[in-house]
Amino acid sequence: MEVDALYDKKVKCPICSKEFITKKMRTSRIRIDRVDGDFMNYYKSENPTKYHVFVCPKCGYAAMESNFNNIRPFEKEIIKENVSSKWREREYSGVRTDEEAIQCYMLAFYCGQLLNLKKLDLGNIALKIAWLYRGKNEEEERRFIQNALELFEQAFYTENLSDTSMDEINIGYLIGELYRRLGNKKEAVLWFGKTVSNPLIKTNPRIEKMTREQWLLAKENENGE
């Protein structure tokens, strides 16, 4: 990996006020090789996903960069009581191995559950953990796909998705694809069908194409493995 593809970002922890360094990847250095059906990118360069979680070395608070500072006073107390009190100081400020990146996401998932983040956000964290396990640990990958799937279904039915990057077309497709990956073809076909018959599909030709392709794939294999 080219080390200068990463740079240091200084961050201030909203819980304990500690300033620390975390790595980020230069957008110009990201090289995507190919993409899986569930949007997981494979990179020719270092994988930027590994650095999307910030972890405070002093108090253990961890969150996705986009949520890191969104914290209310009573939530600080929740983290102090449940995380910081048990935390042994350790750092994730350097280049992260896949294993370290998984630890960072696990911490963000734990903090996110304590803070009652939106199901969509928790689902995204779980899905990224599944991606980090892909090709390395199938059992753990499946466990986190299952987790993500449950959270995305709850988000689909109970959360307002209109102001997120995941509208009901994207998430409907993704739920179908995650079912397909788990081998549940019946549910996969159901969700792909639901997604293509949504009038909003016309606003997103890329997802429409992906949905039709994966729908066919799931239907072809519906009666056998």
Chain residues in the site for Zn ion (CB under 5 A): 13, 15-16, 18, 56, 58-59, 61
The 3-class secondary structure across 83-106, one letter per residue, is CHHHCCCCCCCCCCCHHHHHHHHH
Nearer to Zn ion, 55 or 178 (CB): 55
Q: Closest separation between CB of residue 101 and Zn ion, Å?
A: 19
Nearer to Zn ion, 59 or 171 (CB): 59
Q: Closest separation between CB of residue 172 and Zn ion, Å?
A: 37
Nearer to Zn ion, 18 or 194 (CB): 18
| Sign of the torsion angle spanned by Cα atoms 182, 185, 190, 195 | positive
Measured CA angle at 160 (ends 130, 55), to 5 deg: 40
Nearer to Zn ion, 103 or 137 (CB): 103
Token pair for 31: 């090289």
Nearest 10 degrees: CA dihedral of 74, 76, 81, 86? 170
Q: Closest separation between CB of residue 61 and Zn ion, Å?
A: 5
Q: Closest separation between CB of residue 199 and Zn ion, Å?
A: 46
